[in-house]
Every structure is written in structure tokens, then in C-alpha cells.
Chains A and B, each alone.
Chain A
Amino acid sequence: MAHLDAGSLDRQTALADLRGTLLGGLRKALAHRTYGGDAFLEDVVQDALLRIMERLSQFQGRSRFTTWAMSISIRVAMSQLRRLHWKDVSLDEVTTARVSDKEASLDVQSEREAILAAMQEVIRTGLTEKQRLALLAELRGMPQDEIARHLGSNRNAIYKLTHDARKRLKQGLEALGFTGDDIGAAISG
């Protein structure tokens, strides 16, 4: 890693080594996914190396350098793959999709039904429109990066937005008399 810092021949070698490691690793890890072949991977690794160099000072040596670099390259790769996969899907499409009657009919016991009814109520009254949208889009599988793109935001901010929404839901349910244990017990298949 020290070699990456130095402006020397060592740096070129270290970079080339890292590039090879990331390329090979990503190729294997993404083997079962559809992507644009080696050209895509080359671009991803190029982007990842830039990010790694930018963040070099943040690396604290708490893991191996290669593992840290891999984690960054995966974030770059998956962000790009998610973008490609979701590029033509609007937030509206995802959040206004109707739930089929079969799915919507809740065949549940009464306590569970009470929690679910309370949840719907808190969703309706306790959340902002933006929180509702982001939460719903996320439940329907839209990646946070994509939600962020539609709302002019970023992944971290969307995480914070839905975290706040979850906290409000939890507090709302507690205010209606449901404890954390009740909420946990309501989870069923």
C-alpha cells in the first residue's frame, strides 16, 4: 500500500497488481450476473482505482488493503449495474403499482391484523410524502441509489430518510400500545 503513495515505478507496479486482482475478483464474483463483459469490468476497475486513490488517507489498516479495495470496487460495480437495470424505471411506476387482490387479502390472526392496521394508520398519518415514497420504493426493490437519483438526493440521505421513517413507525406503534416484542411477534410467513 505504501507503494501506491509513492510517485515511483513501484507505484505503477502496485497499481497494475491491484488492477489485476480486482478484475479477476470481480469477474468471478459477478459470474452469475448479466453485465457488459470485460469492457464493463475494465471501466468499473478504472473507476474503483480512482476512488481508492482518492480515499487512500481514509484507509486505517484495520483490514488487509486488498480487502478494503475489493469492497470499494464492489460498490462501484453494483452501483453501475443497478443503474443499468433500473435506468428506465420511474419512481412513479414503482410506487403506484397496484397490489393484486390476492396479495392484499391478509389472512391473519387478529393481533397481527391489529398491528398491521396500526402500521397502515401510522404510515398514513405519521410520515411525510417523501418518506412514504422512499419507503415504498425500497420495499418494492428499487435501490437507494435509484430512489436518490429520482429525488435529487444520494444513497446516504435516502438511508437517513427511511431510517427516520422507520423510527416514526416504531414510535407510532408504541404510542398505540404495541411494544417492540409485539412488533417482532407480528412477523410471519
Chain B
Amino acid sequence: MSLSKEEINELVRLVSLTNDEEIDCERCLSLVAEFAERKLAGHSIPAELAAVAHHLSICAECSEEYALLLQMMNG
């Protein structure tokens, strides 16, 4: 598979962030409302929600949806 420079950079970024255990998109959806409220309120993120931040750094779709959620909450 031949990759452009941009694609290789993104792949290296993703590999460097990879953890053995990661939550999937369903799990992210079930936790993201609480995560977003804490973020907007400037509250600390408990360890169990750190997996959400990590998932958002990897998953383009969940990250896009999270950005929209923040917009919607700021309505």
C-alpha cells in the first residue's frame, strides 16, 4: 500500500497514540455527554473518562461528533 507523506504522518501519529485497551465508538457515545459537560464546566476529567479523550484523539468520526455536541450545548 502506497501512502502519501500526509497519510504516513497520520499513521505514525495514530500508532504512537495506540494503547492496548481502547474504548470503541459505542462506549464513547455512552460517555461523551458527561465528558463534554465536565469539559465545558472546566471540571477535572476522572480516570474513567480519560479513555474518552483518548478515543477522541484517534477516532475522526467521534471527534467530529464531539465538536458538534459542544456547539449544540453552547446553542
Contacts and interface: CB of A to CB of B under 8 A. Distances in A.
A19 interface: no
A29 interface: yes
B68 A170 contact: no
A98 B2 CA distance: 8
A119 interface: yes
Interface residues of B, number: 41
Q: Could you say which of A30, A68, A75, A82 has the most chain B C-beta atoms within 10 Å of its C-beta?
A: A75
Interface residues of A, number: 60
A124 B14 CA distance: 17
Interface string B16-59: 10101010111001111110110000000000000000000001
Interface in A54-100: 58, 62-64, 67-68, 70-72, 74-75, 78, 82, 95, 98-100
Interface of B: 1-16, 18, 20, 22, 24-26, 29-34, 36-37, 59-61, 64-65, 68-69, 71-73, 75
